[in-house]
Structure 1
Amino acid sequence: MITGLDHVVVLVGDIAAGEAAYQTLFARQPSWRNSGDGAERVLFTLDNMTLELMAPSGEGAPADRIRTVLAAQGEGLASLCFRTGDIAKMHRRLDRLTLKPEPVSEVESHDLISGATLSWKRTRAATDATRGVRLFFLERSKERPLSVRTAPASITAMDHVVVSTGDPERAAALYGARLGLDMALDRSHPDWGRLMFFRCGDLVVEVTHRPRKPGDKPTDTAQDRLRGICWRVADIDATRARLAADGVDVSEVRTGRKPGTRVMTVRSGTCGVPTLLVQPSAGRE
């Protein structure tokens, strides 16, 4: 019923600064700009999903809610939105699974760049039923325009988004049994804990559980959190050189955990989102 990850939302305090940061990271132009309902939004659409930057704008309850979240948590990942081909059917399933979905609403967005309009239908599961992670679901028939590349060695697509959990069994039940994502990997290691991969279209929702060590503070096992994003690149050495030349703080390239992959960490210019870049193995489509 879920066909893919439509987009992720990153909250920022300054929409212009966030746009500049991700234009540098992606080497792509924004594909959509929109303002309304207490927020300014800038979207970057890659080959398999969209990243939406959102900042508070003006006065009123919607803007105040965003400011409250920013004051409490700072900039960073705020929500995931899954795509479905039948929102009414998705809503019934969420209701049966006691995820307490909101009524389906129709949304329209006007692009400040081109003047184009997109519309979709969406619902949202109750956050207390999704272990603290804000999950939306939408149906739309028209694709967003792709973000135009502005330089070589651009980001091509999302590889995976990371959810950190204190209760891996309940998290596995949520993303696997209840939402219906395909569990492609379930692996445990005494050093780095448990790692689960759930396929979602052309990317993965990665759920991680880190074992507690002596001296660690107790964690809330009922609350998961969005932890970070890994983006795909075609040539990681060229991407590293481009980002370093643009003043972005990046690590050295290293061998990834998955055989045949090479990865690096982006330490700045991500608006509070822990960020990894990966060059997939040569055999990957």
Structure 2
Amino acid sequence: MDVGRHVTDQRSPELGPAITAIDHLVVLVSDLPAAVTAYQTLLGRMPAWHGSDDGAESVLFTLDNMSLELMAPAGSGDTAERIRNAVKLQGEGFASLCFRVSDAARMYRRLDRLGLQPDPVAEVERHDKQSGAALKWRRTRAATALTRGVRLFFLELAAERPRSGAVAAAPIKAMDHLVISTADPERAAALYGARLGLDMVLDRLHHEWGRLMCFRCGDHTLEVVHRPVAGSDAEHDKLWGISWRVDDLDAARARLVQAGVTVTEPRAGRKPGTRVATVRSGSCHIPTLLVQMLR
């Protein structure tokens, strides 16, 4: 008898999928007002939340299917110094991937049973600096040393966040996909598929751009990309790039170009039935793509 297979098939229902979506992404920046201005221009939307806590100040943009959190150091505490050091060593960019879960306690048990050494579930409450409105959630986090260097949080929200209203024509509607770069596709696939329970919908090898694996996560796609590069870090993956959905790519591009953002000419996307354009500036150094789904 294959003992390993037998144990896998007989595991508790609590080990079933508990992730429902990508909740939000955290981007570390050194100059929060400048980053907020850049993303208000890029997204064509106003911030929905502005808070501070324990040495960090953050602003949230909340779209139809996720939030983007811009975070900067505030003051001189330990957290502020950690953020400054991270930006100094790694530059501005993604810091954390936060999944939405239906039950944080259940997710904690899954992570614990799979050996990902989760933090105890914490109850969190934050307040908007302007309105005083409260946001509450429960969260846990997997040990970063066991998630190939990517900081993974798991959040159960008490209520939906306020949305970011449009402030320009042709605003960004939602996130389409997030790209993670890996030097070890087999281990990355095991983490996001077998261990976290995301559904792999594509595994393709291409002679020009390497291996591409796609995992469905609610309304999002998590793309794990392996591009063989000499000297790459075999032990650590990287949150690399993001793709935003737009209804009208030409109008969105025209708006951004008029605002001084560099955007390439539209072209056919790799996914059939899509048009895309690459944003070359104004994204806090995060590789960024605009995507239009053709009807």
TM-score (norm 2): 0.93
Q: How many residues align?
A: 278
**Following the alignment from structure 2 to structure 1, what is the Cα–Cα distance between the partners of residues 277 and 252?**
10
Aligned-residue CA RMSD (Å): 0.8
Q: Report the CA distance between 1:192 and its aligned residue.
A: 1.2
The CA distance in 1 between the partners of 2:30 and 2:281, in whole Å, is 16
Of 244, 248, 251, the residue aligned with 2:257 is 244
**2:173 alignment partner, SS class:** strand
Q: Retained in 2: the 8 A contact 1:183–1:199? A: yes
CA distance in 2, matches of 1:77, 1:230: 14
Name the counterpart of 2:100: 83
Q: Partner residue of 2:276?
A: 263
Q: How does 1:97-112 map to 2 (within 5 A)?
A: 97-112=114-129
- The runs of 5 or more residues in structure 2 that have no matched partner are 1-17
CA shift for structure 1 position 220: 1.6
Provide the residue aligned with 2:89 in structure 1. 72
Instruction: Tell me how far apart the structure 2 counterparts of residues 199 and 268 of structure 1 sit (CA, whole Å).
Output: 28
Aligned match of 2:197: 180
Describe the SS at the equivalent of 1:123.
strand
CA offsets per residue over residues 40-63 of structure 1, 9 Å max, x none?
100000000000000000011010
Alignment of 1:44-63 (within 5 A): 44-63=61-80
Residue by residue, what CA displacement relative to the aligned partner does 1:79-101 show, whole Å, maximum 9, x if unpaired? Answer: 10001111111001001111111
| Deviation by residue 1:207-252 (Cα, 9 ceiling, x = unmatched) | 000134xxxx321211100111000000000000000000001111
Q: Give the secondary structure class of the aligned counterpart of 1:70.
A: helix
Can you list the C-alpha shifts for 1:184-211, whole angstroms capped at 9, x where unaligned? 1111112211101111110111000013
Provide the C-alpha distance between the structure 1 equivalents of 2:266 and 2:206, rounded to a whole number of angstroms. Answer: 24
Alpha-carbon distance between aligned partners in 2 of 1:220 and 1:55, rounded to the nearest angstrom: 27
TM-score by length of 1: 0.96
Aligned counterparts of 1:156 and 1:209: Cα–Cα separation in 2: 28
Deviation >2 Å, runs of 4+: none
Residue from 138, 150, 154 that aligns with 1:133: 150
1:204 is matched with: 221
Letter in 1 for 2:200: M
How far off is 1:162 after superposition? 0.4
Report the 3-state secondary structure (helix = DSSP H, G, I; strand = E; otherwise coil) of the residue aligned with 2:123: strand
